[in-house]
Amino acid sequence: MEQTAMQQAAAQAIRLLEEQGVRLTPAQRQGILPSRQPTLMLAVPGSGKTTVLVGRVAALLLAGVQPERILNLTFSRESARDMAIRFERFFPQLPAPRFSTIHSLCYSVLNLYARRTGRTIPPLTGSDGQPSGLQIMGEVVRRRDGFVEDEDLEDALNLVGLSKNLMLSREETADLPCALPHPLELLDGYQQRKNELGLMDYDDMLLYTLTFFQKLPWLLQRMQEQYDFIQLDESQDVSRVQLELVKMLKPQGDGLFLVGDEDQSIYGFRGAWPRGILDFEALFPGGAVLKMEDNFRSRPEILHCCDHFIRMNRERYPKTIRPSREGRARAVKRFQPATPEELAGALLEQIAVLGPGETVGILYRSSLSALPVIDLLLEAEIPFRLPSSSIRLVRHHLKQLHNLFQLAVHPEDGELLLSLHVPRDLDGPVMDQIAALPPGPAPDRIEKAAEILDDEPAQKLSALLRRLPTLSPEKAMAAVQRETSYGRYFLARSLAPADAIAALRTSIYRQFCRRTRTLPQLLERLERAEAVLHQPPPVMKPAVSLSTIHAAKGLEFDHVWMLDCCEGILPGRIPLERMQSSQTGAFFEEVRLFYVGATRARETLTLVLPAASEPSLRPSRFVEAFFETPSPKKKTPRLFSRPKKELPPLPPMEQGLRICHRSFGPGQVTGVEGDLLRVVFDRLAPGENMKTLSLSCCISAGLIQLEKPNAP
């Protein structure tokens, strides 16, 4: 009787959708039909999964299920809001159930516990003036290690989140890759400091809820009895602890409906655990696996490439992404500009010919790539959308070069002078002497300190600072690279074959240099672009959108330009290194990321290779594989046949070993973690003399060698 009522309700929900012009495939109709059987719906990109989700909710309501008995969970607040809006649009006559994130559900569980026990929930990190998780981690790390780059702090904080979300033991956590040594010390210090402040983070909410469910039967029973049906969207993105929470609410899976696609799992750095949906039938015996394989978004030429490409993702369900639209000539192409300026011209040309209502999405892996595009659009007065997200700035990555230019333009800035750190050009004794001198123009103070200490590098830097304002930005950059130790180190890093990100930073800075005539103009232009990153322009529905590929998941555009199709960026350097040691998990997440970016395109997809004028950036192997023609004998693209470049033999590294770095000078190894060396350098200032280096990068670039012992 119940199933008959469900079938009738599903038919009514389908009629309501069709009355609004929605035409459903047999697979979508099957997804809308509710049942108590645990069900996994595999939905390829552009298959209309949100419509199916809200249609299934409507069918439940029309069958007489009360809205408070239905829980709809998703990965992000944006997705939850989108589902709620879509439901209201299609079914305004029905009461809306709860559309929520898993974190929001956990917060309500903790509130229920607090009300029943009279206790107080700890405030969240970063809320209501509380320090953020990154600030707390910074306090812990800097107390232990002194100065540490922000990227390393974020890496350490991500390690804490991964450990919690994947429910790892301390031994497993210690094996996670981390830019900083002794990760367990960081984990313990972060937890201790957070507890001292009486705070919890978002990952704590998950673990607290799981612990309460395990130890408080009344609380678990209360939540189990509250919901008859639970729907989980984007299930490939949930973490192991999140899936465990859902399983505790529905231990047999009755009334559980998961929607996801393991081919779109791209948040491994946050703890996403696609293993959950791959093991669905083992987790919920008797469960059904359905598939929605029809794509209504993209042209067939795009989808044929995408379908062939994603088959290299080894751990996946067998499925095909099928086009539903007619073909279009040159729907997908690769583009290698001669120079970055040619790319800028091609982008402006694309925007100029957009038809009414058409959109273009400019996607990138590295947020650095947004800066020259922002500058281009601002100069052309083209409105654009930019998601508000954490973006690494050029100024941060090239801090000392940027500060040198600032000091040349503003020589009276004594605070900037004293914060300057140019290894081996301004070492500790010189900086101490500068600080002891009376205020005055920076070149004069550096020159005076150099005379007192008879320091030739500082003398040269003083003369260079006087010359820089007379040079064009491009010539000024070349002079710094040629005439300073820091510049030579910076250039060496950007030319190292293993450091594509350094090469990208250099390329972007040079682009800004070429677009300006004077140093003040360069600094003003950079600051204008950076300001937009902090406060994106208030444009509601622009034709042009900029986004990382991660942030573009769930979005679609008529025309997509995928930047950063470079070896060492997409795929990234670390996944490539792990693949060489048969650790393929991170590499295949890169495959999925490329696939997600490509499937955002409706009409055309342009894969942008590095400019021919940038020889240190090489085209991504993914582009060649993407365009390979499938054949019966070759079912998947060749990604592993490319010959590996032989590096010089790596010397055995151990604690206490003395080395000499081309820019930092002599130092002592204080720790070794895989490819990472922790070194204290003799000539650097206290607080900044501790560096974490990639041994393979340093060897390939010829940056370090073993220090020769003094002759007896």
pLDDT at 635: 54
pLDDT at 1: 47
Query: Is residue 655 a contact partner of residue 670, using CB atoms and an 8 Å limit?
Result: yes
Residue 179, C-beta contacts closer than 8 angstroms, at least 6 positions apart: 151, 152, 155, 156, 676, 692
The region, left, alpha or beta by phi > 0 then psi within -120 to 50, assigned to residue 128 is left
Environment class of residue 507 by beta-carbon count within 10 Å: exposed (0-12), middle (13-18) or buried (19+)?
Answer: buried
Reported as a pLDDT band with limits 50, 70 and 90, residue 500 is: confident
In 391-543, beta strands by DSSP E: none
Query: Is residue 29 a contact partner of residue 15, using CB atoms and an 8 Å limit?
Result: no
Query: Is residue 234 a contact partner of residue 260, using CB atoms and an 8 Å limit?
Result: yes
Ordered DSSP codes for 239-256? BHHHHHHHHHHSTT-TTE
Q: Which tokens belong to 672?
A: 């070794």
pLDDT at 634: 55
Query: Is residue 500 a contact partner of residue 568, using CB atoms and an 8 Å limit?
Result: yes
Listed in sequence order, the DSSP H helices in 250-299 are 275-278, 280-283
pLDDT at 322: 94
> pLDDT by residue (tens digit) across 171-227?
888 887 777 788 888 899 999 999 999 999 999 999 999 999 999 999 999 999 999
Query: Is residue 460 a contact partner of residue 451, using CB atoms and an 8 Å limit?
Result: no
> pLDDT by residue (tens digit) across 382-423?
999 887 554 445 555 567 778 888 899 999 998 888 887 776
The distance from CA 241 to its chain's CA centroid, rounded to whole angstroms, is: 21
Mean pLDDT for 583-603 is 92
Measure Cα distances from 516 to 172, 406, 519, 709 in Å: 51, 15, 8, 49
Reported as a pLDDT band with limits 50, 70 and 90, residue 123 is: very high
Residue 317, C-beta contacts closer than 8 angstroms, at least 6 positions apart: 42, 262, 278, 289, 291
Q: Which tokens belong to 406?
A: 């600032």
> pLDDT by residue (tens digit) across 525-574?
888 887 776 666 666 678 999 999 998 988 999 999 999 999 989 998 77
Phi (first) and psi of residue 650, to 5 degrees: -85, 130
pLDDT at 151: 67
* The dihedral sign for the CA sequence 507, 512, 516, 522: negative
Q: Which tokens belong to 634?
A: 């070759």
pLDDT at 539: 61
Residue 254: closest CA among 217, 288, 206: 288
Q: Where are the domains of the chain?
A: 2-107+206-295, 133-198, 310-388+539-626, 394-525, 658-706
Task: Tell me what the pLDDT averaged over the chain comes to.
Answer: 86
Highest-confidence segment of 52-56, 274-278, 455-459, 686-690: 52-56
Reported as a pLDDT band with limits 50, 70 and 90, residue 91 is: very high
Q: Which helix (H) or strand (E) holds 413?
A: none
> pLDDT by residue (tens digit) across 323-380?
999 988 889 999 999 999 999 999 999 999 999 999 999 999 988 898 899 999 999 9
pLDDT at 540: 65
Q: How many CB atoms lie within 10 A of CB 470?
A: 11
Q: Which amino acid is at 641?
A: S
d(CA 83, CA 44): 18
> pLDDT by residue (tens digit) across 262-319?
999 999 888 888 888 999 999 999 999 999 999 999 999 999 999 999 998 888 999 9
Mean pLDDT for 583-595 is 89
Cα separation of the two ends of the chain: 96
pTM for the whole structure: 0.83
d(CA 434, CA 445): 6
Output 528 or 28, whichever has higher pLDDT.
28
pLDDT at 390: 43
The highest-level CATH class for domain 310-388+539-626 is: alpha beta
Helix, coil or strand: residue 334: strand
Reported as a pLDDT band with limits 50, 70 and 90, residue 631 is: low
| CATH code, 2-107+206-295 | 3.40.50.300
> pLDDT by residue (tens digit) across 639-690?
554 434 444 454 567 778 888 876 677 888 888 766 677 888 887 766 667 7
Mean pLDDT for 687-706 is 69
Environment class of residue 646 by beta-carbon count within 10 Å: exposed (0-12), middle (13-18) or buried (19+)?
Answer: exposed
Helix/strand/coil percent split, the chain, to 5: 50, 15, 35
- On the question of a common fold for 2-107+206-295 and 310-388+539-626, the answer reads yes
In 601-652, beta strands by DSSP E: 601-608
